[in-house]
């Protein structure tokens, strides 16, 4: 068998629509046999928090305030026309209505397909987050050099 193809995605955005792109590409690639690595950093870390809603996750006062404002996967905003959080609800409704997998279903599929989730050490430090704040599927906490090594020889996307 030829060497396995590889796709590595840097999930920087914590927006509903961009995370949908991350998980659509990731699951699609994993389903056709790619090794898929997703490196979550900054706002992207919201997607892998254990707490799906708004919650004071994080160590210290400011990270806790951030945690409440940012929330988890269930409270991510859309990148345009968010209308104070109404748009993600409309999108979820439209996706279900049109039989397009909503974000949560894509994340579930990503777990089942064995996609590798990694968290950015530096962003976690800034936001006062620890590995235990994330879902257990998060394989490791990495820095830039480890990610570069991991993504070597494959395609890399920044979303």
Partner 1 sequence: MATYNLDVTKDHCPMTFVKTKIELNKLQKGDVLQVKLLEGEPLENVPRSAREQGFNVLSVTATEQNGVHLVTIEK
Q: Which residues bind partner 1 (CB under 8 A)?
A: 1, 24-25, 27-28, 30-33, 98-101, 105, 109, 112-113
Joined together, the tokens standing for residue 4 give 């396995």
In the complex with partner 1, which residue's Cβ is closer, 16 or 147? 16
User: Least distance (Å) from partner 1 to the CB of residue 4?
Assistant: 10
Residue 31 CB partners (closer than 8 Å, separation 6+):
113
Q: H or E stretch including 118?
A: strand 116-120
Residue 15 CB partners (closer than 8 Å, separation 6+):
43, 76, 77, 78, 79
User: Least distance (Å) from partner 1 to the CB of residue 46?
Assistant: 22
User: Least distance (Å) from partner 1 to the CB of residue 112?
Assistant: 5
User: Least distance (Å) from partner 1 to the CB of residue 103?
Assistant: 12
In the complex with partner 1, which residue's Cβ is closer, 36 or 127? 36
Joined together, the tokens standing for residue 24 give 């659509």
In the complex with partner 1, which residue's Cβ is closer, 52 or 113? 113
Handedness of CA 121, 127, 131, 134 (dihedral sign): negative
In the complex with partner 1, which residue's Cβ is closer, 10 or 22? 22
CA 74 – CA 53 distance, rounded (Å) = 5
User: Least distance (Å) from partner 1 to the CB of residue 41?
Assistant: 23
In the complex with partner 1, which residue's Cβ is closer, 27 or 37? 27
- Which of 88, 100, 83 shows the shortest CA–CA distance to 14? 88
């Amino acid at each position: 068998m030829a060497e396995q193809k590889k796709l590595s995605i840097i999930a920087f955005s914590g927006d509903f629509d961009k995370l949908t792109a991350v998980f659509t590409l990731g699951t699609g690639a994993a389903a056709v046999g790619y090794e898929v690595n997703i490196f979550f950093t900054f706002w992207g870390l919201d997607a892998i928090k254990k707490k799906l809603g708004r919650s004071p996750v994080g160590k210290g006062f400011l990270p806790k305030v951030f945690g409440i404002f940012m929330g988890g996967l269930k409270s991510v905003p859309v990148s345009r026309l968010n209308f104070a959080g109404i748009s993600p609800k409309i999108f979820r409704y439209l996706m279900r209505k049109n039989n397009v997998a909503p974000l949560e279903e894509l994340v579930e599929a990503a777990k089942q397909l064995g996609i590798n989730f990694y968290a950015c050490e530096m962003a976690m430090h800034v936001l006062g987050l620890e590995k235990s704040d994330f879902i257990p599927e998060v394989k490791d906490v990495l820095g830039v050099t480890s990610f570069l090594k991991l993504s070597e020889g494959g395609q890399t996307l920044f979303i």
